[in-house]
């Protein structure tokens, strides 16, 4: 994109002005994205008590929808109470006077970013779009939809599936058989763990979209993905261990299985895109 700007100008002064204009456009895309985050953040801040009680602390409530859903699923597959998580009671602490006040801003900003994600990507897309060729634009239809879809799918997976198992395990784990250690997590610790789970899963679920783009521009091929599948499994296991704060194998498998499935979907997407690109090349040569 920047090379095109320099090629259009006849002298260095024009090229420099084009480059400055380009940076100015980027600045306004960033400004509008930040404004969108702030708009949603203000809305969340106004309803901060409801958001905190029913959304942020949702996975800690014994009647959280995922707990009842897991238990019903466990009985449906005739697995007894294998997936029924015991109710947990967690009391958090704020170890400084400003913890709750600053935490409310953190919750609002993070929530604003998640809610504004489609618009943020749309602004990014508007910045990148002019540099694409007509035939490249033709293959990027519904890009905003699919990127947003997989991000929210991953975020929902982290919130409704992974976080209940993670916090249930961490809250009920006892290092001593005498129950001499009382777990009282801080608000900052909980927000940090929840952020890592939701955003980590949201980004990880972008794998098929990334495979589509990289195959389109020729950086990867289906053969490459198949050849390095065994290495990808190791990487996904590491990612699963990083995303899940709890060390239990159930939580890590809950992350690993969807991610390895997404990797296989990525192989399928890459194979289809690669086949289409080769077909286009043959048509151009004929």
Q: Does 222 reside within a domain?
A: yes
Q: Does 78 reside within a domain?
A: no
Q: How many domains does the chain have?
A: 1
Q: Does 69 reside within a domain?
A: no
Residues in the chain: 286
pLDDT digits (tens, 9 = 90+) for 107-126: 999 999 999 999 999 999 88
Q: Does 83 reside within a domain?
A: no
Could you tell me the sign of the dihedral formed by the alpha carbons of 46, 49, 52, 55, in that order? negative
Per DSSP, helices labelled H in the chain are 2-8, 12-46, 48-51, 65-76, 99-115, 117-128, 134-138, 143-157, 163-172, 187-204, 207-216, 222-227, 229-243, 249-285
What confidence score (pLDDT) does residue 80 get? 79
Q: Pick from 110, 258, 98: which is nearest to 194 by CA?
A: 110
- The structure's pTM equals 0.80
- 277 vs 37, more confident: 37
**What's the whole-number average pLDDT of the chain?**
83
What domain range is 223 assigned to?
151-286
**Integer-rounded Cα radius of gyration of the chain:** 23
pLDDT digits (tens, 9 = 90+) for 124-153: 988 887 777 776 666 677 788 989 999 999
pLDDT band per the 50, 70, 90 thresholds, residue 155: very high
What confidence score (pLDDT) does residue 171 get? 80
Q: Does 256 reside within a domain?
A: yes
Q: Does 21 reside within a domain?
A: no
Q: Does 94 reside within a domain?
A: no
Q: Does 61 reside within a domain?
A: no
Cα(188)–Cα(194) distance, integer angstroms: 10
pLDDT(44) > 90: yes
pLDDT(244) > 70: no
């Amino acid at each position: 994109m920047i090379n095109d700007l320099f090629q259009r100008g006849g002298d260095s002064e024009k090229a420099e002005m084009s480059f400055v204009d380009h940076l100015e456009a980027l600045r306004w895309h960033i400004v509008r994205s930040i404004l969108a985050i702030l708009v949603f953040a203000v809305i969340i801040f106004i309803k901060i008590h409801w958001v905190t009680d029913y959304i942020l602390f949702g996975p800690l409530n014994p009647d959280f929808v995922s707990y009842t859903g897991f238990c019903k699923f466990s009985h449906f597959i005739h697995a007894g109470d294998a997936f029924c998580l015991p109710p947990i009671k967690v009391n958090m602490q704020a170890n400084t006077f400003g913890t709750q006040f600053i935490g409310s801003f953190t919750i609002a900003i993070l929530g604003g970013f998640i809610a504004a994600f489609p618009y943020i990507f749309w602004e990014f897309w508007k910045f990148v779009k002019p540099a694409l060729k007509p035939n490249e634009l033709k293959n990027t239809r519904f890009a905003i939809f699919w990127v947003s879809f997989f991000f929210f799918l991953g975020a929902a997976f982290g919130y409704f599936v992974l976080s209940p198992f993670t916090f249930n395990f961490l809250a009920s784990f006892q290092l001593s058989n005498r129950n001499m250690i009382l777990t009282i997590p801080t608000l900052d610790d909980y927000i940090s763990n929840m952020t890592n789970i939701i955003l980590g899963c949201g980004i990880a679920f972008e794998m098929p979209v990334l495979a589509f783009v990289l195959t389109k521009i020729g950086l990867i091929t289906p053969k490459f993905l198949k050849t390095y599948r065994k290495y990808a499994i190791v990487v996904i296991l590491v990612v699963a261990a990083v995303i899940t704060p709890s060390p239990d194998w159930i939580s890590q498998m809950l992350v690993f299985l969807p991610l390895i499935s997404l990797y296989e979907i990525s192989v399928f997407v890459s194979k289809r895109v690669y086949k289409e690109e080769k077909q286009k090349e043959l048509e151009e040569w004929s």
